[in-house]
Structure 1
Amino acid sequence: MSAVKILLEITKNLHEHVSSGLPKEDREPYIERLNELLEQRQVIVDKMPESYSTDEQQMGKTIVKLNDTIEPLLTLQFEQIKQNLTLMKKKKEKNVQYANPYHSVSSDGMFFDKKK
């Protein structure tokens, strides 16, 4: 099987996986599978030949079209994950602040007299 055909199959699998959407719960297996597909794809891309037959050129065009739909979906999912991490960090900070409200008291607007 040619490297282009293998790359096409991996790209189709990646497209299906990304198109299914980011799950709301239990994202670890989803992200692990995504990384696995991207790594497999990179290995094949590194092994691509210099010249292509007409069939391989057609497969290449299909790969490019699929990639054009995969990239925006990956970017969107990456942004969603980033937002969730930011939200989780804020929640964690608020929980710590609630548990110990005087731990990080701000001195803004206060005057400290240095005279004794």
Structure 2
Amino acid sequence: MSVVHDVWRATKELLEATALPWPSEDREERLQMVDRLLRERQELLWKLRPPYSEEEQRLGREIIAWNQEIEKRLHQVRDEIRGDLRVAGAKRQANARYVHPYEQPLSFDGMFYDKKR
């Protein structure tokens, strides 16, 4: 079996591993699996050498199409994680204000300075 077939197989596994949705409970183990598959595929990509047969070129075009879908899915997961971190930070900040209400800097809204002498 050629290296192109191995890359195709690894890309197909990666496409299946990135299938949406990603529940937050399973996110950590799925990220580890995706990371492992990306590393495995990178090792295979370094071994690719031309010339390629017609079948290998067809597989290459399929790999490129899958890569675009994988990238789109991973961007969605990244955005979900960013949103979760933003919500967690807001909750932590609100909790800190509730527990220690007088440790926050005072607000000076509504102050007026008279410039007349």
Query: Partner of 2:5 in structure 1?
Result: 5
User: For 2:18 and 2:26, how far apart are their aligned partners in 1?
Assistant: 15
* Deviation (angstroms), 1:80: 0.8
* Deviation (angstroms), 1:41: 1.4
Contact 1:23–1:30, Cα closer than 8 Å, also in 2: no
Query: Partner of 1:66 in structure 2?
Result: 66
2:43 partner letter:
V
* Deviation (angstroms), 1:21: 2.5
User: For 1:38 and 1:20, how far apart are their aligned partners in 2?
Assistant: 17
Contact 1:18–1:74, Cα closer than 8 Å, also in 2: yes
SS at the partner of 1:19? coil
User: For 2:62 and 2:70, how far apart are their aligned partners in 1?
Assistant: 12
For 1:1-116, what aligned pairs fall within 5 Å after superposition?
1-109=1-109
Structure-2 change in CA distance of 1:106 and 1:26 (3 Å): farther
Q: CA RMSD in A?
A: 1.7
* Deviation (angstroms), 1:108: 1.6
User: For 1:62 and 1:38, how far apart are their aligned partners in 2?
Assistant: 17
User: For 2:69 and 2:30, how far apart are their aligned partners in 1?
Assistant: 18
1:56 partner letter:
E
Query: Partner of 2:115 in structure 1?
Result: none
Taking structure 1 as the reference length, what is the TM-score of the superposition?
A: 0.85
Q: Alignment identity in percent?
A: 33
In structure 1, list runs of 5 or more residues that go unmatched. Answer: 112-116
Deviations 1:76-100 (A, max 9, x none): 1111111111111111111111111
Contact 2:20–2:73, Cα closer than 8 Å, also in 1: no
Count of matched residue pairs: 111
User: For 2:27 and 2:62, how far apart are their aligned partners in 1?
Assistant: 29
